[in-house]
Amino acid sequence: MLGKVVIVGVGLIGGSFALALKNAGQVGEVVGIGRHPEALARALELGIVDRITEDYADALRGADLVLLAAPVAQTGAILSALLPHLEPQTVVTDAGSTKCDVVAAARAVLGDRVHQFVPGHPIAGSESNGPDAALAGLYHGKKCVLTPLPENAAHDVEKVAGAWRACGAVIHTLSPADHDRVFAAVSHLPHLLAYALVDDIAAKPHADMLFQYAASGFRDFTRIAGSSPEMWRDISLANRAALLTELDAYLAQLTSMRAMLAAADGVGLQGIYATAQRARREWQEAIEAGSPERRSPNQENT
């Protein structure tokens, strides 16, 4: 049971965290703070938070846990605002989709108090944004990856893990570097590709006609291009090195497939399609079976 939780950024991610804790009866008070007064007011109106404030001293007084649910590029500035008011018992965590940059910002700002920061990343979301998109069940059965620091005390890591478990999440642990390499491949690259395709179609002179005939395949492939441009700009730049590596590999694959298409190499194309189909089917079956996708060597035994 957490007495007081502070949410910095009360949109989809932070708002869903607050609602889940409330529904589970695992928090006494939720305080919202952030850049957008209208979003804070809406979160209060919806009952996502119990109180809103623009004063970090007020927000952090007696806080057990602080969740940073803002674009990753803001991490340093937010931590700088928190630091003068950070009490010894308060643990700070985040929900950022990149970890190496977040850890670097935490070390730079917090210094010898970095032990109070436990990095995290819930693997859940939606293309919708803002407090109205928040869902109490968003994290149920979803993974939350923690990337603890050597300085973190075990009980502080457990405080963060316990909060996410109360939201219904399943805890996994990775190093920050491994986290960023993994998500460059399976999250950041797909978002980049979806944005690129929609932007390419929208720039064509007959874009209206193209969108008129776009159907479920286009909708499914590009759904994530409806996500926050600011957030994904920050993620792309923060994980630039790993994302460039994955993008180069994808470009090499496209070059190979283009050569097959130009040569009318049906056997080669079918081989790639068949391999991809098999891999995706196995992945889907693993999800449905709950193993190994839901339980890996780095997952807590809960």
Q: Is residue 210 part of a domain?
A: yes
How large is the average pLDDT for residues 238-264? 98
Q: Is residue 298 part of a domain?
A: no
Residue 228: which pLDDT band, with cuts at 50, 70 and 90?
confident
| 183 and 60 together in one domain | no
Residue 185: which pLDDT band, with cuts at 50, 70 and 90?
very high
Quote the domain boundaries for residue 116: 2-173
Q: Please, where are the H alpha helices in 52-143? A: 56-60, 75-82, 100-110
Among the ranges given (67-71, 91-95, 123-127, 257-261), the one the predictor scored with the smallest mean pLDDT? 123-127
| 277 and 152 together in one domain | no
pLDDT at 175: 97
| 265 and 213 together in one domain | yes
Boundary residue ending a domain (133, 154, 173): 173
Boundary residue ending a domain (173, 198, 225): 173
Q: Beta partners for 145?
A: 121, 172
| 83 and 52 together in one domain | yes
The rounded mean pLDDT for the chain is 94
pLDDT at 301: 31
| 52 and 152 together in one domain | yes
Q: Is residue 299 part of a domain?
A: no
pTM over 0.75? The answer is yes
Q: Is residue 9 part of a domain?
A: yes
Residue 295: which pLDDT band, with cuts at 50, 70 and 90?
very low
Q: Is residue 296 part of a domain?
A: no
Contact 106, 90 (CB under 8 A): no
Domain count, the chain: 2
| 104 and 233 together in one domain | no
Among the ranges given (22-26, 38-42, 219-223, 286-290), the one the predictor scored with the smallest mean pLDDT? 286-290
| 167 and 56 together in one domain | yes
CATH classification at residue 134: 3.40.50.720
Q: Beta partners for 65?
A: 5, 91
| 96 and 233 together in one domain | no
231 vs 119, more confident? 119
Boundary residue ending a domain (145, 173, 201): 173
CATH classification at residue 276: 1.10.3660.10
| 201 and 68 together in one domain | no
Q: Is residue 20 part of a domain?
A: yes
What are the tens digits of pLDDT across the range 70-94?
Answer: 999 999 999 999 999 999 999 999 9
Residue type, 144: C
How large is the average pLDDT for residues 188-209? 98
Give the percent of the chain with pLDDT over 70: 96
242 vs 1, more confident? 242
pLDDT at 231: 87
Residue 302: which pLDDT band, with cuts at 50, 70 and 90?
very low
Q: Which residues lie below 8 Å from residue 14, measured CB to CB, with a gap of 6+? A: 7, 8, 32, 67, 69, 95, 134
- Other C-beta atoms closer than 10 Å to the C-beta of 104 total 14
Residue type, 209: M
Q: Is residue 18 part of a domain?
A: yes
| 209 and 271 together in one domain | yes
Which of 101, 123, 73, 104 has the alpha carbon at shortest distance from 242? 101
| 148 and 231 together in one domain | no
| 260 and 211 together in one domain | yes
How large is the average pLDDT for residues 145-149? 98
Residue 297: which pLDDT band, with cuts at 50, 70 and 90?
very low
Q: Is residue 77 part of a domain?
A: yes
pLDDT at 20: 98
Residue 299: which pLDDT band, with cuts at 50, 70 and 90?
very low
What are the tens digits of pLDDT across the range 21-44?
Answer: 999 999 999 999 998 999 999 999
